[in-house]
Structure 1
Amino acid sequence: MANYGLIGAAIAVVIAALTYGVPLFFAEYFPWRSLLKQRDGKPTVVTKSYSGRTALITGANGAYGSRAAKMFAHRDIDTLILVDVMDCGPLKEEIEAELSATKKPKANILVWKIDMMTFAGCQELGKKARELKNLDHVLLTAGILSFKRRESPEGWETSIQVNYLSTALVALFLVPLMKSSPTNLAPPVLTFVTSFGIYPTSYTLSLPKRGSYLKHLSNNKDGLQQAHQYGRSKALLLYFTRELAARVSTAKGLPQKVTINSADPGSSWTPLTSPNQDKLIPRLIMNFSARDPRYGAAVLVNGASASADAHGQIMQDFDTAAYPPFMERKSGHVAQQRVWEETRAEFEAKVPEIKSVYEMLHGKSDK
């Protein structure tokens, strides 16, 4: 009888683990329901016309950025700014040819280059943006995926440099410059790009007992640690986005309130993700969830066109998504403050002109 009791107890443990443990595991590390929903989703751009407005896209030569640029252009955008480390001249010519062929109004397309490996490159973008009369939509798609560890000239692992630090710095330069055009009755929108890649790397994001959190994540090694860097850099960006949204809500001195959000385009086979073809698990995940990148681009454009209700939200195909579970815990909010404060210290030390933006976001008493 005792053996039967032990067997029964073991079965109960297994059932409990399958009933509760497995769903919890997937909620933490692999949001398969969301990925499946995105794979089958076919969103389109909701806004019919961007007439009179200005949109700026970083990573404009990328699979998402280039498609998003065309979506804005084919919906009557007045001024379109294509920003990339590579020359966007050919993309500009392609868009102009498409508009001419369809007899649509030609947009004023500006081509700007940016070096996102350096803070100076971000500063240069900020200076150029001061020339704009209005800035309605900012879509920050620029990013890299690197399986080999390298350091930027600023001393950071390159994924964290480009996907997090430089993207955050660009946002800080642009937010005070954002202002809706006369034809746009909604607040201007700045949209970051987030990723489900945050989830499988979440167990590597715990705070160190001492020292810099950012340096702890940047001072990684090749191999498995480097394979996590894309997700970790995107987690840092999501922490920053949520804090920036909260700060903007109470900031004084902005010419206009700005909607800050994130958009999750889902997954697609693109030049950025193509290295995953050679890696079994990433390839299986991509094959499970990938869709045509035009649908992801539509999500991003919709995110950058969202109403003020989307402030601080994560936008997906047809609705908003919850923040990852680890970010909602007390430890996640502690980590968010560390990310914000350490990032501020890094930027103010190397980019002194950004101090005025932080003062606006914090209040002068917080200098």
Structure 2
Amino acid sequence: MAVNYWTLFAVAAVTAIVLFGIPFVLAEYFPWRNLWKQRVGRPTVNTESYKGRTALITGANGAFGSRAARIFAHREVETLVLVDVKDCADLKSQIEAEVAAENKAKPSILVWQVDMMSYAGCQALAQKASELKTLDHVLMTMGILSFNRRESPEGWETSIQVNFLSNALLALLLLPLLKSASTNPAPPVLTFVTTFGVYPASFTMSVPKSGSYLRRLSNNKDGMMQAHQYGRSKALLLYFTRELASRVSAMESQDEGMNKVTINSADPGSAWTALTNANQAKLIPRLIMNFSARDPQICATALVNGVSSAAEGHGKIIMDFDTSSYPPFMERKSGRLAQQRVWEETKTEFEAKVPEVKSVYEMLG
């Protein structure tokens, strides 16, 4: 019988795609194992009491932020700072009523508003925070999901502005203010929120040989690029977070008198919220969300554990009961080079427009 080599080749090609191609694509662009673990995961709050401590939450009116605030309040936090673009007075009243109904000590709740579309808004928030006696936990949940391209007053696409630039700037300005209360045995923690959305966005994030990388991502158009803009902005933030954590470690090793600080990211998983409900009308996003979504309370619990992590969580991605690896595209040499590009371009932008951040960069080296 004559051998049909073309048939054998076709079978071999299909087999290779099944065995190697599909797993590669899934690992690069769709981390389904992590999503499934989160869907069935049920983390509980690790810290019994936050007595004497101060916790600051941005995006406090959001589905995750408001629930995280309640967790802190019900576990004896001394000072709770609720930060949002909208007034959190109603949330404050609700939390106070809840803890009173359980005969628990009422925390001191501060309500601050912030404009995350501008650098001035971040500066104003940091100025308020400078008056706090201690700052043990900073949970940065504030973000936007925009399906139509708009620009901030600073001249950046709004997802890049809020999800990346403003979060990064606020972290730099708060960094010197992080200080643990005497009742807190661990270093203060600043936690950014990350998402699986960085994976599918990665194929749209190639680095140009010349010109600004950030401008290339910001100067996008409506359509596929804008659909991935949330993930792109979060990927930039993840690059920044990893570099910031690395530089904080180097700074602490050079100066033993420097306060220890834990910088990390937390992945809360997916949930149907006011932010994500717009995806109900989009087939693929809706299918992905239905595959992975869980109760927002569980997501908030994961975030609280992230911002309460021990020093061993520094520089890592906290996910439910464990840590998660960084996305494959960030671990390659090209990803390391992109990270440096993001850090340097961000530094140039901030130092030109926010004078007080220069001293922070000098500390970080």
TM-score under structure 1 length normalisation: 0.97
Residue 130 (structure 1) aligned with residue 133 (structure 2)? no
Q: Does the C-alpha gap of structure 1 residues 90 and 3 become closer, same or farther in structure 2, counting only changes over 3 Å?
A: same
CA-CA distance at 1:257 after TM superposition = 1.1
CA-CA distance at 1:210 after TM superposition = 1.4
Following the alignment from structure 1 to structure 2, what is the Cα–Cα distance between the partners of residues 146 and 115?
Answer: 17
Provide the residue aligned with 1:323 in structure 2: 326
Following the alignment from structure 1 to structure 2, what is the Cα–Cα distance between the partners of residues 268 and 170?
Answer: 26
Following the alignment from structure 2 to structure 1, what is the Cα–Cα distance between the partners of residues 35 and 62?
Answer: 21
Provide the residue aligned with 1:244 in structure 2: 244
Q: How does 1:15-164 map to 2 (within 5 A)?
A: 15-164=15-164
Residue 288 (structure 1) aligned with residue 291 (structure 2)? yes
Following the alignment from structure 1 to structure 2, what is the Cα–Cα distance between the partners of residues 251 and 110?
Answer: 32
Q: Does the C-alpha gap of structure 1 residues 2 and 215 become closer, same or farther in structure 2, counting only changes over 3 Å?
A: farther
The CA deviation string for residues 99-144 of structure 1, in whole angstroms up to 9 with x for no partner, is 0001010000000000000000000011011101110000000000
Provide the residue aligned with 1:301 in structure 2: 304
Following the alignment from structure 1 to structure 2, what is the Cα–Cα distance between the partners of residues 331 and 113?
Answer: 39
Comparing 303-312 with 251-260, greater Cα deviation is found at: 251-260
Q: Is the 8 A contact 1:178 1:255 kept in 2?
A: no
CA-CA distance at 1:2 after TM superposition = 5.5
CA-CA distance at 1:6 after TM superposition = 2.0
The CA deviation string for residues 279-322 of structure 1, in whole angstroms up to 9 with x for no partner, is 11101100111000111100100000000000000000110000
Following the alignment from structure 1 to structure 2, what is the Cα–Cα distance between the partners of residues 12 and 285?
Answer: 31
TM-score under structure 2 length normalisation: 0.98
Q: State how many pairs are aligned.
A: 362
Residue 227 (structure 1) aligned with residue 227 (structure 2)? yes
Q: After TM superposition, where is structure 1 displaced by more than 4 Å over at least 4 residues in a row?
A: 252-255
Provide the residue aligned with 1:365 in structure 2: none
Provide the residue aligned with 1:12 in structure 2: 12
Q: Secondary structure at the match of 2:112?
A: strand
Provide the residue aligned with 2:184 in structure 1: 184
CA-CA distance at 1:209 after TM superposition = 2.1
Provide the residue aligned with 2:357 in structure 1: 354
Q: Secondary structure at the match of 2:349?
A: helix
Q: Secondary structure at the match of 2:356?
A: helix
The CA deviation string for residues 236-295 of structure 1, in whole angstroms up to 9 with x for no partner, is 000000000001011257751100000000100000001101111101100111000111
Indicate the percent of aligned positions where both proteins have the same amino acid. Answer: 70
Q: Does the C-alpha gap of structure 1 residues 98 and 9 become closer, same or farther in structure 2, counting only changes over 3 Å?
A: same
Following the alignment from structure 1 to structure 2, what is the Cα–Cα distance between the partners of residues 161 and 303?
Answer: 24
Following the alignment from structure 1 to structure 2, what is the Cα–Cα distance between the partners of residues 330 and 361?
Answer: 23
Following the alignment from structure 2 to structure 1, what is the Cα–Cα distance between the partners of residues 2 and 70?
Answer: 71
CA-CA distance at 1:9 after TM superposition = 2.0
Q: List runs of 5+ in structure 2 lacking aligned partners.
A: none
Following the alignment from structure 1 to structure 2, what is the Cα–Cα distance between the partners of residues 168 and 296?
Answer: 22
Q: Is the 8 A contact 1:83 1:113 kept in 2?
A: yes
Q: List runs of 5+ in structure 1 lacking aligned partners.
A: 363-367
Q: Secondary structure at the match of 2:4?
A: helix
Q: Is the 8 A contact 1:179 1:255 kept in 2?
A: no
Following the alignment from structure 1 to structure 2, what is the Cα–Cα distance between the partners of residues 120 and 63?
Answer: 26
